[in-house]
A = this chain, B = another copy of it.
Amino acid sequence: MASIKDVAAEAGVSVATVSRVLNDHPSVSAEARARVLAAVGALGYRPNAVARSLRTEKTQTLGLVISDVLNPYFTALARSVEEEARALGYSVIIGNADERPDLQDHHVRNLLDRRIDGLLVSPTDGGSPLMLDAARAGTPMVFVDRWIPGVDVPVVRADGRSAVRDLVAHLHGLGHRRLAIIAGPAATTTGRERVEAFREALGAYGLELPDAYIGQGDFQAESGRRVTEGFLDLAEPPEVVFAADNLMALGALDAVRARGVRVPEDIALAAFDDIPWFVHTDPPITAIAQPTGELGRAAVRALVARIEGRPGESVTLPARLVVRRSCGEQPDSLEPSPVTNRSQT
């Protein structure tokens, strides 16, 4: 592969001049520029990004450590992150933690070793020493979706509180009184917050959230299934199951279907995170939609700000309730077309 030396030789100039042309440095004569460009074309020369990075101490690369790529919410988030990063001149390397702290650490370490310019993370747990050290050491970093309290890092996320209140109002209005939740891991902020928001919203109607109605899930489908089976085995099963993410809702649907229980006649189902398929499930599922695309873009902007030495603020965007038929009753309003929905990402 041709190097800058070859180009210099071909153009009859020094490598410094070639470098200047390549980097649009102003002080290059028009003639030298033309010769260099011609040589670049003739040799099919492409600058070696590795060498450039070593020299400039910039890789123009962002790391994104995500909890689970197979979760459509995170896939959409990753996509919008990549788009915004590309627009700002960065590439992104995605590390899939699969909800495993050890894998998360593997990726953080790998990304740091590769000298990424900044790190976007949606932590799987309360934060490993490695990640906390990186933050303390001044690695530009931004939390997205989930975060770690007490760490001085901007947080870009959705606030689901008001949407959860809307959901509970909807459920209460339909006459439901025994509401259960499939919670995410208590080690994650979203795992805790969604339960708390649900409990608070219930409180406003004088309803309790008994321990038997809090099933411990891990944001994966299998846990949603297991927890739902437990709910169905209760002497007094809940009238509603609220899954704290879309994969656990999938598992809940599996469990319900295996038992021959009907939704919403026998049990109502709602989910946090909306996905295109929820329009077409049997029945269509009432869900809380996050502004995923906007979150990804805001997170990248905050991270790039930090990289460039600017402040980079936290951003909180509201989630919203999308009513469908899985909790009973007809939708209050016309459903937006699901294809249109996709454009939100």
Contact A47 to B113, CB < 8 A, known contacts A222-B339, A338-B250: yes
Q: Is residue A214 contacting chain B, with contact meaning CB distance below 8 A? A: no
Chain B residues positioned under 8 Å from A115 (CB to CB): 48-50
**Prevailing SS type, chain A contact patch:** helix
Q: Are A91 and B110 in contact (CB under 8 A)?
A: yes
Nearest residue (CB) in B for A343 is B222
Q: Is residue A35 contacting chain B, with contact meaning CB distance below 8 A? A: no
Total count of chain A residues near the partner, CB < 8 A: 52
Chain B residues positioned under 8 Å from A257 (CB to CB): 279-280
Q: Is residue A167 contacting chain B, with contact meaning CB distance below 8 A? A: no
Contact A93 to B91, CB < 8 A, known contacts A50-B54, A79-B70: yes
Q: Is residue A8 contacting chain B, with contact meaning CB distance below 8 A? A: no
Q: Are A50 and B59 in contact (CB under 8 A)?
A: yes
Contact A49 to B113, CB < 8 A, known contacts A282-B280, A339-B222, A342-B221: yes
Q: Are B114 and A50 in contact (CB under 8 A)?
A: yes
Binary per-residue interface labels of chain A (95-119) against chain B in the complex, 1 for a CB within 8 Å, 0 otherwise: 0100000000010011011110000
Q: Are B258 and A337 in contact (CB under 8 A)?
A: yes
Bound complex: CA A279 to CA B258 (Å): 11
Closest CB of chain B to A92's CB: distance in Å? 8
Q: Is residue A46 contacting chain B, with contact meaning CB distance below 8 A? A: yes
In residues 308-343 of chain A, which contact B (Cβ within 8 Å)? 337-339, 342
Bound complex: CA A91 to CA B338 (Å): 35
Q: Is residue A186 contacting chain B, with contact meaning CB distance below 8 A? A: no
Q: Is residue A51 contacting chain B, with contact meaning CB distance below 8 A? A: yes
Nearest residue (CB) in B for A133 is B44
Contact of A50 among B46, B50, B72, B338 (CB under 8 A): B50
Q: Is residue A82 contacting chain B, with contact meaning CB distance below 8 A? A: yes
Nearest residue (CB) in B for A250 is B276
Bound complex: CA A86 to CA B46 (Å): 28
Chain B residues positioned under 8 Å from A46 (CB to CB): 109, 112-113
Q: Is residue A168 contacting chain B, with contact meaning CB distance below 8 A? A: no
Binary per-residue interface labels of chain A (137-180) against chain B in the complex, 1 for a CB within 8 Å, 0 otherwise: 00000000000000000000000000000000000000000000
Chain B residues positioned under 8 Å from A113 (CB to CB): 46-49
Bound complex: CA A282 to CA B114 (Å): 47
**Most central of A75, A109, A221 by chain B CB within 10 Å:** A75
Bound complex: CA A222 to CA B340 (Å): 9
Contact A70 to B76, CB < 8 A, known contacts A113-B47, A339-B254: yes
Q: Are B59 and A69 in contact (CB under 8 A)?
A: no
**Most central of A109, A257, A283 by chain B CB within 10 Å:** A257
Closest CB of chain B to A164's CB: distance in Å? 23
In residues 261-280 of chain A, which contact B (Cβ within 8 Å)? 276-277, 279-280
10 smallest beta-carbon distances between A and B, as pairs: A282-B282, A277-B277, A49-B113, A280-B281, A49-B114, A253-B280, A50-B53, A50-B54, A222-B339, A221-B339
17 A-B residue pairs with CB within 8 Å: A46-B109, A46-B113, A48-B54, A50-B53, A51-B54, A69-B75, A70-B79, A70-B342, A75-B75, A82-B96, A221-B339, A253-B280, A254-B339, A257-B280, A277-B277, A277-B280, A280-B282
